[in-house]
Structure 1
Amino acid sequence: MSVALVRVSCAAGWFRDERVSRRLDGVLRYEDLEPCLAELLDRSALRHSARVAAVDRSGNALTYGQMWSAAARVAGGLLDQGVGPADRVVVHCPNGFRWLYAFLGVVLAGGVPVLPDPTCSDPELEWIAEDSGAVLTLDGQLPDGVAFLDEGAAPDELAVLYYVRKRGGGLHGVELTNENILSTIEAVVHAMDLTAEGARTVLTAPLSTAAGSAVQLLPTLAAGGTVVAAGARGVRVPWRHLRASFPAARCVRGWGVAETGGIGLLLPTDQRAAHPRSVGVPFGGMEVALLGPAADRGEGELLCRGPSVARRYWNDPEATA
């Protein structure tokens, strides 16, 4: 039986981005990215300090200045507890301001946030802390110290470690570098036109997932917009409830997993009626292909290549291969 490889192209030219170009390794990559996530968010926080960065489920608002100040104090507290550059720290808090402080605090301290699947049990959380080599778990009172901002990391250094469920059971960590995360941010900001002042994003997924943090939260913060909480840890809000609560919001359809940086395919809002069964086309430098004997008929294994695609699984060479 022959095996075919069929590349899926975006003939319509949707989401075309001139800032991506093919490098020597054959991968499309963004030009002129910030060196690391901390520097990108620091610039945004300083530029938009008086703007509202987040609104919680009770309607309480948090400005960029308040958010950054609180996160920097958490970073200082982490430094006091011995957390150093590249140290892994598990962030296990409900969606809300405290999650933001914890996650951003780890980033500002130069550490690597370890984000567990929101459905993890207590024994699984203990295993994640051990497997990741985490030096600390943030799930209660957050550290507090003198405001601190690490000098930054390199694009190819680990930025976030997402723990996701394997197809056959169990968990493993997905390594996303600074380049991976920054590429996802650039792709979403461009495709969703988040550059307009007043952009607001409803958080429809737990922040511990790539969909919640890499796709919804971080691009909005990078663009100076506002994120609005709609669910707690482990809770996905039904679409009918979201549509009723936010009738004027754009409802975006797409596909992505942690291994692809949370992104992969996206359908333009004005194409939903014409393509009711589609999850979209590649964007953000992503290239996809189908592999298998029925690939030419649209059935097969989906292969992805792009600047946001993870380089490997943490401590799992067999799955990486």
Structure 2
Amino acid sequence: MTNLASNLVATAERIPDKVGIRLDQAGVTWTQLHQAAARVAGQLRAAGLEPGDRVSLILPNVPAYPVAFYGTLLAGGVVVPMNPLLKAGEIQYFYEDSGARFSFVWPDFAEEAGKAAAETGTRLVVCGPMGPADGQFDASESAADPVLVPVERDDQDTAVILYTSGTTGKPKGAELTHFNLHRNAEVSASDIMQIGEDDVIMGCLPLFHVFGLTCGLNTSVLRGSTLSLIPRFDPAKAIEVLGRDHVTIFQGVPTMYAAILHHADADRADTSSLRTCASGGSAMPEAVMKAFEEKFHCQILEGYGLSETSPVASFNMPDKPTKPGTIGRAIPGCEMKLVDIDGNDTPPGEIGEIAIRGENIMKGYWNRPEATKEAIPDGWFRSGDLATVDDEGYYTIVDRKKDMIIRGGLNIYPREVEEVLYTHPEVLEAAVVAIPDELMGEEVGAAVVLRPGATATLEDIQTYVKDRLAAYKYPRKLWLLSELPKGPTGKILRREVRPSA
């Protein structure tokens, strides 16, 4: 396996007429997906794409996503998935940092992407449901021969750059290789979810997120199962698709499970085909897990991973006892341990930072050798998550070393929101923290100190941030303080910030 796209070619040859991607009543066979991706690959090559060039995807969960994703890989390019909710300034940063030459964009997002592209010279390719819309490539490019056989790539060549923020600085691009992604899909399909050709996977996780990309799309392509897409998660739609398409495997973040469980149509849901559910992204409340399993007669397997680990690192496996509240054990081909601040193994029973090594670990951060060295100082990737491990190797996360907020499975970093707050002319200080939320798991909260004489309201400030960040990032709750808690050096102590009543 030298190009991840080889999996699509092999599946199209093995089961050409089987439906691989479904969106409502529309079904795309593996042959149709392969041919559409091959056309895109030919058009990209004719337009000047060289192996290793970066191509951004700003698309919802529609067939155009796998078409553009595998089309880029067939041509030898590197895919840069991006959240469609990003604003122009955020997109511009990703375009500039990755050096994206092309960007496949859904019409709804073309305005923001176009503002960014005007600054970077990135070529936009507006897409319809099955790929590039008419007129996006010129006559000679459109007439280019399809690339049916993947361009040769090395196992350790970068296939995808996934941007992930740190608690400080700008987002960094985690370079995942063809081998990283292939092996993680293989282990996810065989050891965790035990996926076969007859399975139908619910595709409600966004494909721009590594969980949906690896465990949804890439496992489906590898195994030849059907991926039934939902462009944007809605519990009523998910309940409809579960019964209509006879879904056997559901993959989601805990908030999705809670939304389905508590929906008015839950009692009428047809889940007779549902066999296995995989949960990740944030901790699954045990009460939600038990209630969901009892109501829908399925098994929920909870696991853990990060963008830098392709993503799956540990899971509760179906052939071993599951332990609710834990993230399971290290998957095959991956090792995990707990270390202290100096990198030494922690004694049994003590809390330590999760360190990971194995075939799922990223190649490094794109163009950031020092950040790579800091994250992987000795061959073990430092996750930033604090945990305990029992004598059977099951890990339980107890806290996050980083101050990341996980809202509905999407990562939000306080520093990024704070930087926008600080650009408001009447904001003196700000601290962004997580607020527990029953529906989303966590919400974004912001404590704000205004400048003397300020007249801005909290609603004004909220709107200001909302206009400058993706919709899922702006603070839902803001409160005023006369001053923020600080340490002896004057550093704001975010962990001491508490929401007002």
TM range (shorter): 0.7 to 0.9
Question: Once structures 1 and 2 are overlaid, which stretch shifts more, 238-247 or 185-194?
Answer: 238-247
Larger Rg: 2
Change (3 A) 1:193 1:214: closer
Contact 2:58 2:83 in 1 (8 A): no
> 1:264 matched to which residue of 2?
313
Per-residue CA deviation, residues 116-146 of structure 1 (Å, 9 max, x unaligned), is 2455332111111111111111111325443
> 1:61 matched to which residue of 2?
27
Say whether residues 1:114 and 2:162 are aligned partners.
no
Contact 2:2 2:154 in 1 (8 A): yes
In structure 2, the residue corresponding to 1:114 is in which secondary structure? strand
Shift of 1:189: 1.9
> 2:363 matched to which residue of 1?
311
Alignment of 1:256-295 (within 5 A): 256-269=305-318, 275-292=323-340
Per-residue CA deviation, residues 141-190 of structure 1 (Å, 9 max, x unaligned), is 32544321343211111111111222335311000111111111221121
Which of 23, 38, 43 is the aligned partner of 1:77? Answer: 43
> 1:48 matched to which residue of 2?
15
Contact 2:60 2:84 in 1 (8 A): no
The one-letter code matched in structure 2 to 1:108 is L
Contact 2:173 2:365 in 1 (8 A): yes
Per-residue CA deviation, residues 224-271 of structure 1 (Å, 9 max, x unaligned), is 111111342999772134564563241221111110111101112476
In structure 2, the residue corresponding to 1:238 is in which secondary structure? helix
Which of 225, 236, 250 is the aligned partner of 2:276? Answer: 250
Shift of 1:295: 5.2
Shift of 1:197: 2.9
Per-residue CA deviation, residues 195-242 of structure 1 (Å, 9 max, x unaligned), is 533112112421011111122210121111111113429997721345
Change (3 A) 1:276 1:233: closer
Contact 1:52 1:61 in 2 (8 A): yes
Shift of 1:300: 1.4
Provide the C-alpha distance between the structure 1 equivalents of 2:210 and 2:88, rounded to a whole number of angstroms: 21
Provide the C-alpha distance between the structure 1 equivalents of 2:197 and 2:102, rounded to a whole number of angstroms: 37
Change (3 A) 1:108 1:241: same
Question: Normalising by structure 2, what TM-score?
Answer: 0.53
Question: Once structures 1 and 2 are overlaid, which stretch shifts more, 263-272 or 125-134?
Answer: 263-272
Change (3 A) 1:127 1:168: same
Change (3 A) 1:259 1:119: farther
> 2:385 matched to which residue of 1?
none
1 or 2 for the larger relative contact order (CA 8 Å, sep ≥6)?
A: 1
Contact 1:116 1:164 in 2 (8 A): no
Percent of pairs with identical residues? 28
RMSD between aligned alpha carbons?
A: 2.4
The one-letter code matched in structure 2 to 1:239 is Y
Say whether residues 1:300 and 2:299 are aligned partners.
no
The one-letter code matched in structure 1 to 2:337 is A
The one-letter code matched in structure 1 to 2:257 is W
Per-residue CA deviation, residues 61-95 of structure 1 (Å, 9 max, x unaligned), is 11111111111111111112111211111111111
Which of 90, 104, 117 is the aligned partner of 2:70? Answer: 104
Provide the C-alpha distance between the structure 1 equivalents of 2:71 and 2:205, rounded to a whole number of angstroms: 21
Change (3 A) 1:190 1:298: farther
The one-letter code matched in structure 1 to 2:75 is A
Change (3 A) 1:195 1:211: closer
In structure 2, the residue corresponding to 1:251 is in which secondary structure? strand
Change (3 A) 1:178 1:241: same
Contact 2:192 2:315 in 1 (8 A): no
> 2:210 matched to which residue of 1?
210
Contact 1:117 1:162 in 2 (8 A): no
Shift of 1:282: 0.6
Question: Once structures 1 and 2 are overlaid, which stretch shifts more, 288-297 or 300-309?
Answer: 288-297
Say whether residues 1:229 and 2:278 are aligned partners.
no
The one-letter code matched in structure 2 to 1:186 is E
In structure 2, the residue corresponding to 1:37 is in which secondary structure? coil
Contact 2:7 2:221 in 1 (8 A): no
Change (3 A) 1:246 1:109: farther
Alignment of 1:168-179 (within 5 A): 168=168, 170-179=170-179
The one-letter code matched in structure 2 to 1:152 is E
In structure 2, the residue corresponding to 1:134 is in which secondary structure? coil
Question: Once structures 1 and 2 are overlaid, which stretch shifts more, 46-55 or 135-144?
Answer: 135-144
Gapped regions of structure 1 (runs ≥ 5): 1-33
Change (3 A) 1:242 1:199: farther
The one-letter code matched in structure 1 to 2:348 is D
In structure 1, the residue corresponding to 2:25 is in which secondary structure? coil
> 2:147 matched to which residue of 1?
148
Which of 51, 56, 62 is the aligned partner of 1:90? Answer: 56
Change (3 A) 1:204 1:80: same
Question: Once structures 1 and 2 are overlaid, which stretch shifts more, 134-143 or 257-266?
Answer: 134-143
> 2:164 matched to which residue of 1?
164
